[in-house]
Structure 1
Amino acid sequence: MLAYAGGRADAFERLYDRHSLRIWRYLFRNTGNHALADDLGQEVWFAVVDAAPGYRVKARFSTWLFTLAHHKLVDHWRGHRKVQSLDDDSPESRRLAETLFAHSGFEPERWQGRKELARALLAALAELPAEQRAAFLLQAEGDLSVADIAAATGVPPETAKTRLRYARAKLRQALEVLA
């Protein structure tokens, strides 16, 4: 990022190539909508371009980038108050949960060789409350620490740690039925 901020346009391409898929997956898994993930991802990269002249290293670049992505996601949710809860059992919620990870390019069943376990994991992830899912995905997709997740989501570290703990416990519980 410092190279890009210093005027090297090729550095942006390297940043984009290195991080764009992870950012898109984070956005898609939180929205369940390809087009929306594309739009929010584009907003993230525009924000990177806009921020380049004043960029200062305060954390890892990936932490800063996922913080931007999280803020774009929160801004979207605030602007669209009618948010479909994944906790209810309406047909819309079931459809969203079923499609949340479809065609994302992330195919854990191929890597694990266990389609049933992979599907159960993705379904359980879709059922997590938004705050827990965001914390879990920031760690899983962004490789962020608890402190970085707390900074990205604007909560105290203990809250981020609790959200991660609850997310892992719920995922573990959902997968125990398959063991």
Structure 2
Amino acid sequence: MLAYGHGDVHAFEALYARHRGTLYRFLMRSCRDRASADELFQETWSRVVAARERYRPEAKFSTWMLQIAHNLWIDTIRRHRPQAGEEETEHVFRTLDAPETEQPDRLLSEFEQRRRLQLALEDLPDEQRTAFLLRMESELGLEEIAQITGAGQETVKSRLRYAFAKIRARFSE
């Protein structure tokens, strides 16, 4: 990356060849949607290119690159955070107005659980939410999460433990 920052185009070609598979696998596991993964893949490489002159080797290149991808993915999640849609909300309110015999508990249960999880995730500190999402949505291990977030494995384990405890407490309320 340093050579690329000094104008060596062949150095970028080597970086791309060496790290494109790792990056794409990470994004596919994170997004689980080819179109989103493709978009984030392109945006990550665009950010790498844009940062070529500012890059400082404070971490391995792959860690730095995956951190860019991770941050882009988290931004995407925040922008597209699942919200109860108008139709779904109206259905729940119509159901609430229905007579008791027509209102099985499960009609509201799924909506409530989704909303409670959403609120619980919003209440988590950023570090815990990030670790939780990487673990549960991307199915990444402690070592991978530690590498991406720049935290130690014990710190990641602690963040996950606190995140799960807070989410369990939220659901037991």
Same fold (TM over 0.5): yes
Q: Which has the higher Rg, Structure 1 or Structure 2?
A: 2
Instruction: Compute the TM-score of the two structures, normalised by the length of structure 2.
Output: 0.56
Paired residues of 1:138 and 1:149 also in contact (CA < 8 A): no
Equivalent in the alignment of 1:161: 157
Distance 1:162 1:131, change over 3 A: farther
The offset of 1:130, in angstroms, is 2.3
Quote the sequence identity (%).
Answer: 40
Paired residues of 1:4 and 1:12 also in contact (CA < 8 A): yes
Comparing both chains, which one has the higher relative contact order based on Cα–Cα distances under 8 Å and sequence gaps of 6 or more?
A: 1
2:30 is the counterpart of 1:30: yes
Equivalent in the alignment of 2:91: none
Paired residues of 1:4 and 1:11 also in contact (CA < 8 A): yes
Q: Deviations over 1:68-89 (max 9, x none)?
A: 1101100111111227xxxxx9
Distance 1:138 1:24, change over 3 A: farther
For 1:30 and 1:70, the matched residues in 2 are separated by: 9
Secondary structure, in 3 states, of the residue corresponding to 1:75?
helix
Count of residues in Structure 1 that have an aligned counterpart in Structure 2: 117
Equivalent in the alignment of 1:94: none
2:2 is the counterpart of 1:6: no
Paired residues of 2:142 and 2:157 also in contact (CA < 8 A): no
For 1:51 and 1:79, the matched residues in 2 are separated by: 24
For 1:7 and 1:138, the matched residues in 2 are separated by: 36
Paired residues of 1:24 and 1:37 also in contact (CA < 8 A): yes
Structure 2 unmatched runs, 5+: 84-109, 112-131, 162-173
Instruction: Compute the TM-score of the two structures, normalised by the length of structure 1.
Output: 0.55
